Amino acid sequence: MDWSFIGEHLPLYAEAAKITLTISFFGVFFSLIVGLISAQISLTKIPVLSQLNAVYVELSRGTPLLIQLFLIYFGLTKVGLKMDAEVAAVVGLTFLGGSYMAEVFRAGFESVAAIQFESAQVLGLSKFQALQHVILPQALSVAIPGLVANVIFLIKESSVVSGIALADLMYVTKDIIGMQYDTTEALFMLVVSYVIILVPISLFGSWLERRLDYARR
């Protein structure tokens, strides 16, 4: 292992990690919003809208992220819609992540007994207040493990954005290997970078799950 090589390229990996974290953060953030909306549409079974939502979920989960990114970044230019690689990466992660988050949210909402919503309305809460103060907190306590797993999944999937020439961790690693052939060191730094990013998230998710489980007792 050439430690001098690692020290020399450490700043490059730090910059790449910033890009990975940035697109992952916004991708996860918007995925949660899209997933929450999609889950509500799925449960309310609104005609036409519910069918369109089902098509979105199946299309999103049934196609690879790389293909989705190519269609967003390259394909949309054919209809006059051009976007930066960073924006395309966030849109792609949101499109993919929203469907996975939707399924987790839907399972969480379905775990809450219907009488909870009825009781909230009897107490004078509006539908939005009942959702915000009664239904959503209980649904989240059930959905947290799945949400954390999806967050980790999306961060790992962000490595695919190197396919649209975005200088994330994977892109930098492939670039170094291609130019300098220092495969072992480059891959070692790639693995360490993802471990540093993902392990704290996993530990936080486990801690949060235990806290919510304790609160339910």
Lowest mean pLDDT across 50-59, 181-190, 194-203:
181-190
Cβ atoms 16, 168 nearer than 8 A? yes
Please, which pLDDT band fits residue 95 given cuts at 50, 70 and 90? very high
Alpha-carbon gap, residue 185 to 200, rounded angstroms: 23
pLDDT score for 217: 57
Alpha-carbon gap, residue 173 to 33, rounded angstroms: 32
Write down the mean pLDDT value for the chain. Answer: 84
**Please, what is the end-to-end C-alpha distance for the chain in angstroms?**
51
Percent of the chain with pLDDT over 70: 90
**pLDDT > 90? residue 30:** yes
Cβ atoms 155, 204 nearer than 8 A? no
Give the C-alpha distances (Å, rounded to integers) separating 114 from 110, 111, 135.
Answer: 9, 9, 9
Task: Note the pTM of the prediction, 2 decimals.
Answer: 0.84
Cβ atoms 65, 142 nearer than 8 A? no
Angle of helix 3-44 relative to helix 183-216, nearest 10 degrees, comes to 40
Q: Which residue has the tokens 């051009």?
A: 82
Alpha-carbon gap, residue 31 to 61, rounded angstroms: 13
Amino acid at 77: T
Q: Which residue has the tokens 């103060």?
A: 133
**pLDDT > 90? residue 128:** no
**pLDDT > 70? residue 118:** no
Cβ atoms 138, 112 nearer than 8 A? yes
pLDDT score for 1: 66
Q: Which residues of 141-168 are buried (b: 16+ CB within 10 A; e: fewer)?
A: bbbbbbbbebbbebbebbbbbbbbebbb
Please, which pLDDT band fits residue 213 given cuts at 50, 70 and 90? low
Name the nearest CA neighbour of 159 among 19, 28, 37, 2. Answer: 19
pLDDT score for 155: 92
Torsion of Cα atoms, 200 then 201 then 202 then 208, to 10°: 110
**pLDDT > 80? residue 63:** yes
Alpha-carbon gap, residue 56 to 34, rounded angstroms: 11
DSSP class per residue in 192-216:
HHHHHHHHHHHHHHHHHHHHHHHHH
